[in-house]
Amino acid sequence: MKQLWIDCDPGHDDALALLTSIAHPEQLSILGVSTIGGNQTLEKVTKNAQNVLAFVNAEIPLVKGEEGPLVKPLSTAAEAHGDSGMDGPYFGENTYPLVKESFLHYMYKTISAASEKVILVCLGPLTNIALMLKTFPDIREKIEYISLMGGGITHGNITPLAEFNIYVDPEAAQIVFRSGLPIVMSGLDVTEKAEITVEEIQRLKGKGKVSNLAYELLSFYNHSGRQFGFVNSPIHDLCAVAYILQPDMFEGAPHTVEVITDDGLARGLTFADKRTNVTMVKNTFVLDEVNREAFVQLLIQSLEILDNK
Ligand code: BDR
Ligand code: CA
């Protein structure tokens, strides 16, 4: 049994990653979920997380994290995720509880008390995680590795060079990449290959309560993705969870990854130092290939499991 902490900014793809991880209680124990201002404001992404967790009657502690980045103001991704941050489905009211304690103390306390090392799953800007690593450096001993969606070795999306999650808070990302903890990076190199086709999205319609929720999420997300040139929909964040469940569906290589924090065109760029004559620590396993069919199958089956609960 693997123990996880999930930090996220739902977000259509965050929601699908959450649902998939919840569908496998025999493999994954989710100790807690924290939210971070990213795709939308903290208030909105927290509401979205409550909606997703309530929809499947989850009983996972949910704690609200930081409103925005360490240094610069928050820039959101409303053009991709809509005004709510997760446009598409209608959720009624719910009273999914929020942990009242500060997220830093709650996360630290929970991870410290875990019976085994914990995998941190990071699906948004890395602000919460950087703060935890700085405030409680001893937490490192309780972290097995970080599976994150962020960055891209060959290109960006929010700018030509930077991917959104890293671009929003590069200072936090730099702290995480320099933390000495092992990182598995699902960057754009792999996540843009982890796409679901329009036809596959259509097949989810009316199939079951949770599959249909995914259909509604993906219909909006597919439509908004057209403006960025996508015909099919890359489910970026799901890669970070799929890797934990089925690492064999991915390929990658270890690299020394750094983050550019300078202002200017390269802000938020992640790069892999590919020199072979240096002894730098290869801090990151960079994923760059995925078996797309197996990836989509994992999603479809996970939704079916939740449909039948
Ligand atoms: C990342 O940015 C967000 O919009 C998505 O949720 C994903 O985490 C992709 O660049
Ligand atoms: Ca996200």
Report pLDDT digits (tens) over 48-61. 999 999 999 999 99
pLDDT for residue 278 is more than 80:
no
**Ligand 1 pocket test target in 7, 8, 12, 13 with most atoms within 8 Å of CB:** 13
> Residue 281's pLDDT band (boundaries 50, 70, 90)?
confident
Catalytic annotation present for 255: no
**Ligand 1 pocket test target in 166, 230, 236 with most atoms within 8 Å of CB:** 236
Pairing between β-strand 284-290 and β-strand 183-186 as defined by DSSP bridges: parallel
> Which pLDDT score, from 0 to 100, does residue 275 have?
84
Mean of pLDDT values over 236-250: 98
Residue 249 has φ and ψ, to the nearest 5°, of -80, -5
Cα–Cα dist 260/123, whole Å: 19
> Which pLDDT score, from 0 to 100, does residue 280 have?
79
Ligand nearest to the CA of 35: 2
Q: Nearest C-alpha to atom 4 of ligand 1 is from which residue? A: 39
Residue 31's DSSP bridge partners are none
Catalytic residue among 12, 24, 236, 255: 236
> Residue 262's pLDDT band (boundaries 50, 70, 90)?
very high
Mean of pLDDT values over 11-37: 98
Lowest mean pLDDT among 192-196, 200-204, 250-254, 276-280: 276-280
Mean pLDDT over the full length of the chain? 97
Tell me: the pLDDT tens digits for 136-179?
999 999 999 999 999 999 999 999 999 999 999 999 999 999 99
Residue 153 has φ and ψ, to the nearest 5°, of -80, -30
> Which pLDDT score, from 0 to 100, does residue 243 have?
98
Residue 258's DSSP bridge partners are 271
Residue 225 exposure: Cα atoms within 13 Å on the Cβ side: 20
Mean of pLDDT values over 96-115: 97
Q: Which domains does the chain have, with CATH numbers?
A: 2-307 (3.90.245.10)
Tell me: the pLDDT tens digits for 119-134?
999 999 999 999 999 9
Cα–Cα dist 227/277, whole Å: 42
Cα–Cα dist 173/124, whole Å: 10
Separation of CA 147 and ligand 1 centre (Å):
14
Residues enclosing ligand 1, CB less than 6 A?
11, 13-14, 39, 77, 80, 123-124, 149, 157, 163-165, 236-237
User: Maximum distance among all alpha carbons in the chain?
Assistant: 58
Instruction: Answer yes or no: are the C-beta atoms of 51 and 126 closer than 8 Å.
Output: no
Q: Which alpha helices (H) appear in 114-235, and where do they start and end?
A: 127-135, 164-168, 170-177, 188-191, 198-202, 209-225
